């Protein structure tokens, strides 16, 4: 029993060391149901601006997502059938990388939101 306890504590120490060394990005703020409903309504008419195919979620896709979020605040991402990761896995990986909030996953489409304070006040999405 003692060796397994040592192994677990060693793993915990390694995990703590790794998290200290890496500056992990966090997903955006959680949205309440009223905000999600509002954003879903806005996102209904949008077309996907990022498509994820057989190459999966690479650095180019992440950069494109961050760029489009800075331009539009609310974007749709299409996850192709040939994508190696599922739509749920893709969303979980994208959220911290783009520091955005998940609005919804419907079909093979992910709807993300990230507030951009640098955008003109007239163009910003005003959440309820």
Q: pLDDT per residue over 20-64, tens digit each?
A: 334 456 777 889 999 999 999 999 999 999 999 999 999 999 999
Distance CA 7, CA 5 (A): 5
The model carries a pTM of 0.77
In the chain, domain spans: 46-115
In tens, the pLDDT along 61-111 reads: 999 999 999 999 999 999 999 999 999 999 999 999 999 999 999 999 999
Q: What 3 state SS string does 53-107 have?
A: CCCCCCHHHHHHHHHHHHHHCEEEEEECCCCCCCHHHHHHHHHHHHCCEEEEEEC
C-alpha 9/C-alpha 4 separation (Å) is 9
Specify the CATH superfamily of domain 46-115.
YhbY-like (3.30.110.60)
8, pLDDT greater than 90: no
């Amino acid at each position: 029993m003692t060796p397994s306890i040592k192994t677990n504590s060693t793993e915990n120490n390694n995990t703590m060391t790794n998290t200290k060394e890496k500056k992990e990005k966090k997903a955006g703020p959680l949205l309440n149901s009223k905000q999600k409903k509002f954003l879903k309504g806005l996102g209904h008419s949008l077309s996907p601006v990022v498509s994820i195919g057989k190459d999966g979620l690479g650095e180019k896709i992440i950069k494109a997502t961050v760029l489009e979020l800075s331009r539009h605040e609310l974007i749709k991402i299409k996850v192709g059938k040939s994508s190696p990761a599922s739509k749920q896995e893709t969303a979980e990986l994208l959220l911290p990388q783009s520091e955005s909030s998940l609005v919804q996953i419907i079909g093979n489409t992910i709807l993300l939101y990230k507030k951009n304070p640098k955008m003109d006040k007239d163009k910003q999405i005003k959440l309820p």
